[in-house]
Amino acid sequence: MTTIRAADLRLTLPQTAPRIYVAPENEEWHRGAESMDCLAADPADADLHVTRVAPLNADLMRSAPPMLLILGRAARRPLIAAGYSVERVVVRNGAHGPRLAFPIGNTSAARYALETTRPTRSAVDSARTAIVRAALRVGYAPADSVVTIATRTPGPPFPIAAAQHLGADASGGWIAWFGDGDDLQRVVFHAFPYDSDVPTTVVKISRVQGNALAFAADERGLGLLNSKAPKSASMAPKILGRFEVDGLSGSVETAALGATLNLVLDEGDSPSALAHIERVSDWLIAMGAESAGPSSDLAPELERISRDILGAYAEYGVSDALLAPLHSAPAVLAHRDPGSWNIAVSGEQFCVLDWESCAYPSIPLWDLAYFLSDAYSALDGPADADTKVDRIAALFKGEHPRSADLMAHLARGAAAMGLPSEAIGAAVVTGWLHHGRSLAARAERASGNEVVEGLINRVARVWLSDPLLGPQWHP
């Protein structure tokens, strides 16, 4: 399946580009534009021309397309002479396309991007960040990490421009975060007002047309949080509004400051990392307790799991008997995707992001087990998904250094939410089975776009195949 992620930099342009001409040597861009059905065969018909830095030939300059995206550091003078406004952008690439982009010369955006993608842990880190920031301020960056954007009508990236009426202000700069997910993952812009060291708003934009569902779900999820657990809502962003531009859905939120927790956990089993885990765990337990409702509220969710989830695992001996201990369980509000990648931390503060999967009624402990599994397994250091799944299994089998901490948190969470101790096992197992089926649900929404199996999607089958875990597991 073809991904359109190689063409993500189109979202940083000041205008949309319904027709894109791609120079023949740029195969990934060509495939991306073709997948979006916006590939122009004739450069004269294109809104955007994508080319390499050399040579900028005379034919290209004579065709004078409205926008040029040059994959490298292009000379400014010929472009300015041809009537273009020129901006250079630093790009950090991932496996399938850009992961991060921000304009050269903006100190605040550069500093923030550097510090939140590599949290400062030592004097050496601080010195390295200061050196790189100074180089970017005067317009220097390695040639292979720069693209040149030349436009007839300058301005901020068009998603930010379309969101200005909702309070998005990028007069002081911007950062685009493209992530490492599939085509349905939304692109996130941090917008900096003039003379501000930090962003004040976040603009989310879909990279595919017709993906309004995720934005409606985000708004609905945050609405549930504010109605079911208002005391817990201070640790989440606030939606400022939604918009659409060129068929792409978008939204504006208040900005969550700092690095995502997964980057902080990379430093290992440190006191600060453990303190972050404790703070988030306490909040997840408090949110569950605050939102707890009667067991009658949970009945539709148990019916959904019986109808849509359990049958997919019948070969492992899973049946409706798994749900028996949960019929007396309270219903709670759950985020349903509280991985460390969805939590921004700054000092002792944190903010939980992306509420599109949030639901009430949910089964208690789903969020707590999900978060602690990801966080504790991350403390062992970076690893591929299969290794992390093995670490998660070890946590629940009592074979990991943090197994006792995990069990203590689950027991404490169950007590706070009113879940009987004999139902802890069923609560945890049904959570893994639900997440194991979430990839299929995402694929249905993808409409042919690429979807990627995540870490948590893999746990269910490994769990059910392990004789020390399985559907009968209990702490």
**143-155 per-position pLDDT tens digit:** 568 999 999 999 9
Task: Check whether 138 has a pLDDT greater than 50.
Answer: no
Average pLDDT of the segment spanning 397-407: 98
Count the residues in the chain.
475
Average pLDDT of the segment spanning 104-133: 64
Which residue in the block uniquely carries the two structure tokens 């949970």? 298
DSSP 438-463: HHHHHHHHHTTS-----TGGGHHHHH
Reference 474, options 295, 322, 289, 320; nearest CA is 322
DSSP annotation of 146 = E
At residue 457, the pLDDT reads 79
Sign of the CA dihedral running 205, 210, 214, 220: positive
Reference 370, options 333, 335, 402; nearest CA is 335
> Between 55 and 125, whose confidence is greater?
55
Q: Cα-flanking dihedrals φ and ψ of residue 70, to 5°?
A: -105, 120
At residue 63, the pLDDT reads 67
Average pLDDT of the segment spanning 463-472: 96
Average pLDDT of the segment spanning 91-98: 86
- Distance CA(73)–CA(88), nearest Å, equals 7
Q: Which of 45-59, 208-222, 238-252, 300-314 has the lowest mean pLDDT?
A: 45-59
At residue 123, the pLDDT reads 42
Q: What band does 453 get if pLDDT is binned at 50, 70 and 90?
A: low
DSSP annotation of 257 = P
Number of Cβ atoms within 10 Å of the Cβ of 459: 25
Reference 174, options 126, 73, 105; nearest CA is 105
Tokens of 278: 């404790």
pTM: 0.90
Contact 419, 362 (CB under 8 A): no
- Distance CA(450)–CA(104), nearest Å, equals 31
Tens of pLDDT, residues 319-352: 999 999 999 999 999 999 999 999 999 999 999 9
Average pLDDT of the segment spanning 259-264: 93
DSSP H/E element including 259: strand 259-260
Q: Which of 21-35, 237-251, 294-308, 318-332 has the lowest mean pLDDT?
A: 21-35
Mean pLDDT over all residues of the chain?
Answer: 89
CA 418 to the chain's CA centroid: 32
Tokens of 326: 């949960």
Average pLDDT of the segment spanning 50-76: 79
Contacts of 475 (CB under 8 A, 6+ apart): 396, 407, 410, 411, 424, 425
